[in-house]
C-alpha cells in the first residue's frame, strides 16, 4: 500500500500501530498470609484486580476475573471494542456467581477491576472498586479512576475532607464491586484518545500507604518501567505494607519492527515440547529451527526479559514477577504440556481442570505479557478457578476466543430431569389451587349470618352453621334475652334448626319477629278452631225443640296473646 504524499510530492510516513510497553509486580505485603491481588498486562490489555473476602476466596475472585479476560489482548475487533471490555467484565462477574453457586464456601467473595484496552488510537477504560488508574500525559499527572468507596461518596457530597479520608474508620468499605451480590454491576466506562509517550499506572489500594506526592515523583522521574514498578512496591513494603500491593506501569508507544518479530512467535506445539524434553532428542546436538526456537534478543526491556530457568515463577516472600517472554513461559510448563497430547477441540462437559490449565498456558505462551499475583499462581499450579465442565468446555471449544456465548454451549438438560421437575410443579399448582379455593370459600362464609340457640337463648351467629373438620365456620355475634322455651313449638324448632339470614340487619329482624309474633316470618298464623263436643239428649222433646249444635271454642294464638 503506497504511503500518502504531501503537496510537494514527498511521502509522509504512515502512522504505526500503538502498543503498550509494560512492567508489573505484585507482593503479598508484610502482614497478609496470601496474595489476593492479580494483574495482567500485554501489548493491548492491562488489568488489575484486588480480591476481597479473605479466606473466603479473594484470591479466587481476582484470579478468575483476570484469567477470564486475558483473551482480549489483541488488536482485532471487527465489531469495535466500545462494549467488548464492559461485556467481558460482566461475563467475569457471572463466572464469580457460578463459582459461589458451585462452592457456597466462597460466598461473599468479590474483586475490584481496573482495566485498559488499546484499540488503534483509542484507549478503552473500565473500572469498579477502589483500585486506581493514573495517567501522565503532557507532564500532567492525574487520577483517572474514581474510588467506589464510602468515604469517597462522603467527599463527593462535601461531608468529609480528602485529608480526613485516610483516617476514617470506614475507608475500606466498597460501594461497588464484582461478585455474587449484583448480577449487573455498574462500571465506570470511558473511551480516551491516546498519544505515543503517555504513561499509565494501575495499582491496587495497597499502594495507598505511600504518599500521593511520592508516587507521582517516582512515576515522573523513573523512566525505566521495570525499575519504576520495583521502587513503588519497595516503598510500600518500607511503609509497613499491611495489605497486598500490585503495580502495573505501562507506556503507549508506536510498534517497531522488533515488536512485529516478537509478535510472530507462535504457540509452541506440544509435540515440539515433547521432543525438546526427550533426553536423546536431536535438538541437543544441533540448534533448534523454526520460530518456536527463536527468542528476539533485541526486544524492548519493558516487554521481554532474558530467559532463566525460574523466570515467570512466583518469587519467595509472596512476590511474583513474570517476564513477559513467551518462550520462557512456555518452557515453564514444558514438563506438563510436553508429556500431554494436544487438547482436542471438544465440548465434552466433563473435561478436567488439567485441560483448562493447558489451554490457558497455550494462550499465555502465544504473546508477550506479564501475569502476577494470584492469577500467576493459579496458572503455574494448574489450579484454575473454573465452573466444573462448563467453563472448561467453553475454553477448549473456542480456544480462548471467548465469544461470551455461554448459553449456546451449555449442555441441554436431559428430558427426564425436566419430567422430574414437572410433577412437583403440577402438584404444587394443584395444592395452591385447593388452598386458594378453601380460603375464598371461608371468606364467603364470613359474609353470612343465621339465628340459632345459645345457652337456651335466641342468638345471632356470623357465618354458617356447618363445620369443616375441626374448624367451626361460624362465631357468636349477639346473645338476646329471648328464651327459646318461651316461643311456640314451631318457633322453638325453627331456632334450634337455625334460621339463615342474608346479613346482620336481616338476622336482627328475625329476632324481632320471634319476640313479637313467635314466628320468623313476622305474620300471624291462622286461628285453628277446635270444636267442643256437647251431649245430645236422648229424652224426647217437643217437636219445636231443635237438637243443640256444637259451639266452637277458639284457642288464642301467640299473635292474640301479644295483642
Q: Please answer whether residues 292 and 272 qualify as being in contact, where contact means their C-beta atoms are separated by less than 8 angstroms.
A: yes
- What is the DSSP secondary-structure string of 29-95? -SS-SS--EEEEEESSEEEEEEEESGGGTHHHHHHHHHHTTGGG-SS--TT-STTHHHHHHHHHHHH
Which is nearest to 127 in space by CA: 105, 110, 148, 149?
148
The pLDDT of residue 246: 97
126 - beta bridge partners?
115, 189
Q: Where along the chain do its domains lie?
A: 18-411, 449-525
> How far is Cα 291 from Cα 289, in angstroms, rounded to an integer?
7
> How far is Cα 381 from Cα 132, in angstroms, rounded to an integer?
29
pLDDT digits (tens, 9 = 90+) for 343-378: 443 333 433 455 567 778 888 888 899 999 999 999
pLDDT digits (tens, 9 = 90+) for 249-281: 999 999 887 776 554 444 444 444 444 344 443
The pLDDT of residue 352: 42
The pLDDT of residue 10: 56
> How far is Cα 32 from Cα 241, in angstroms, rounded to an integer?
9
State the CB neighbour count (10 A cutoff) for residue 147.
Answer: 24
The pLDDT of residue 123: 94
- Ranges of the chain with pLDDT below 50: 1-2, 263-352, 388-413, 526-558, 560-563
- Secondary structure in 3-state letters for 78-122: CCCCCCHHHHHHHHHHHHHHHHHHHCHHHCCCEECEEEEEEECCE
The pLDDT of residue 422: 79
- Residue 43: alpha-carbon gap to chain centroid: 31
> How far is Cα 51 from Cα 244, in angstroms, rounded to an integer?
10
Q: Please answer whether residues 266 and 291 qualify as being in contact, where contact means their C-beta atoms are separated by less than 8 angstroms.
A: yes
State the CB neighbour count (10 A cutoff) for residue 20.
Answer: 25
Give the three cell numbers for residue 398: 473456542
The pLDDT of residue 30: 93
**Around 157, how many Cα atoms within 13 Å sit in the side-chain half-sphere?**
7
Alpha helices in 411-503 (DSSP H): 415-445, 489-496
Q: Which CATH architecture has domain 18-411?
A: 4-Layer Sandwich (3.60)
Amino acid at each position: 500500500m503506497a504511503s500518502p504524499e504531501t503537496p510537494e510530492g514527498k511521502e509522509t510516513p504512515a502512522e504505526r500501530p500503538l502498543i503498550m510497553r509494560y512492567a508489573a509486580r505484585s507482593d503479598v505485603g508484610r502482614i497478609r498470609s496470601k496474595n489476593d491481588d492479580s494483574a495482567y498486562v500485554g501489548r493491548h490489555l492491562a488489568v488489575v484486580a484486588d480480591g476481597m473476602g479473605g479466606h473466603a476466596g479473594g484470591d479466587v475472585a481476582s484470579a478468575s476475573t483476570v484469567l477470564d479476560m486475558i483473551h482480549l489482548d489483541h488488536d482485532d475487533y471487527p465489531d469495535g471494542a466500545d462494549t467488548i471490555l464492559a461485556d467481558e467484565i460482566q461475563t467475569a462477574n457471572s463466572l464469580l456467581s457460578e463459582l459461589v453457586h458451585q462452592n457456597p464456601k466462597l460466598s461473599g467473595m468479590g474483586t475490584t477491576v481496573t482495566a485498559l484496552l488499546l484499540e488503534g488510537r483509542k484507549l478503552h477504560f473500565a473500572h469498579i472498586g477502589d483500585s486506581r488508574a493514573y495517567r501522565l500525559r503532557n507532564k500532567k499527572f492525574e487520577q483517572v479512576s474514581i474510588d467506589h468507596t464510602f468515604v469517597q461518596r462522603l467527599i463527593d457530597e462535601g461531608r468529609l475532607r480528602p485529608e480526613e479520608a485516610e483516617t476514617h474508620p470506614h475507608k475500606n468499605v466498597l460501594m461497588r464491586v464484582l461478585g455474587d451480590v449484583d448480577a449487573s454491576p455498574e462500571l465506570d466506562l470511558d473511551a480516551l484518545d491516546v498519544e505515543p509517550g503517555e504513561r499509565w499506572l494501575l495499582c491496587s489500594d495497597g499502594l495507598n500507604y505511600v504518599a500521593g506526592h511520592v508516587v507521582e515523583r517516582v512515576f515522573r522521574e523513573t523512566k525505566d518501567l521495570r525499575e519504576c514498578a520495583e521502587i513503588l512496591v519497595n516503598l510500600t513494603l518500607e511503609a509497613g505494607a499491611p495489605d497486598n500491593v500490585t503495580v502495573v506501569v505501562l507506556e503507549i508507544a508506536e510498534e517497531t519492527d522488533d515488536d512485529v518479530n516478537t509478535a510472530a512467535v507462535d504457540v509452541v506445539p506440544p509435540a515440539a515440547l515433547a521432543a525438546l524434553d526427550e533426553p536423546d532428542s536431536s535438538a541437543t546436538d544441533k540448534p533448534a529451527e523454526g520460530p518456536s526456537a527463536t527468542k528476539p534478543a533485541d526486544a524492548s526491556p519493558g516487554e521481554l526479559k532474558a530467559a532463566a530457568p525460574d523466570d515467570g515463577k512466583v518469587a519467595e516472600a509472596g512476590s511474583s514477577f513474570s517476564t513477559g517472554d513467551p518462550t520462557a513461559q512456555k518452557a515453564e510448563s514444558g514438563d506438563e504440556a510436553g508429556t500431554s497430547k494436544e487438547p482436542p477441540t471438544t465440548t465434552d462437559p466433563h473435561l478436567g481442570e488439567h485441560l483448562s490449565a493447558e489451554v490457558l498456558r497455550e494462550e499465555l505462551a502465544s504473546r508477550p505479557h506479564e501475569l502476577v499475583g494470584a492469577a500467576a499462581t493459579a496458572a503455574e499450579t494448574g489450579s484454575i478457578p473454573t465452573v466444573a465442565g462448563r467453563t472448561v468446555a467453553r475454553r477448549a471449544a473456542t480456544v480462548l476466543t471467548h465469544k461470551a456465548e455461554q448459553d449456546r454451549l451449555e449442555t441441554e438438560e436431559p428430558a427426564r430431569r425436566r419430567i422430574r421437575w414437572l410433577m412437583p410443579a403440577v402438584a404444587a399448582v394443584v395444592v395452591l389451587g385447593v388452598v386458594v379455593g378453601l380460603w375464598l370459600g371461608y371468606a364467603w362464609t364470613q359474609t353470612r349470618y343465621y339465628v340459632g340457640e345459645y345457652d337456651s337463648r335466641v342468638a345471632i351467629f356470623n357465618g354458617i352453621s356447618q363445620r369443616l373438620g375441626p374448624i367451626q365456620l361460624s362465631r357468636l355475634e349477639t346473645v338476646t334475652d329471648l328464651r327459646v322455651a318461651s316461643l311456640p313449638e314451631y318457633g322453638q324448632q325453627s331456632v334450634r334448626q337455625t334460621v339463615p339470614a342474608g346479613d346482620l340487619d336481616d338476622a336482627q329482624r328475625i329476632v324481632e319477629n320471634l319476640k313479637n309474633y313467635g314466628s320468623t316470618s313476622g305474620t300471624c298464623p291462622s286461628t285453628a278452631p277446635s270444636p267442643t263436643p256437647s251431649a245430645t239428649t236422648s229424652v224426647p222433646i217437643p217437636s219445636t225443640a231443635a237438637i243443640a249444635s256444637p259451639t266452637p271454642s277458639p284457642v288464642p294464638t301467640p299473635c292474640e296473646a301479644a295483642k
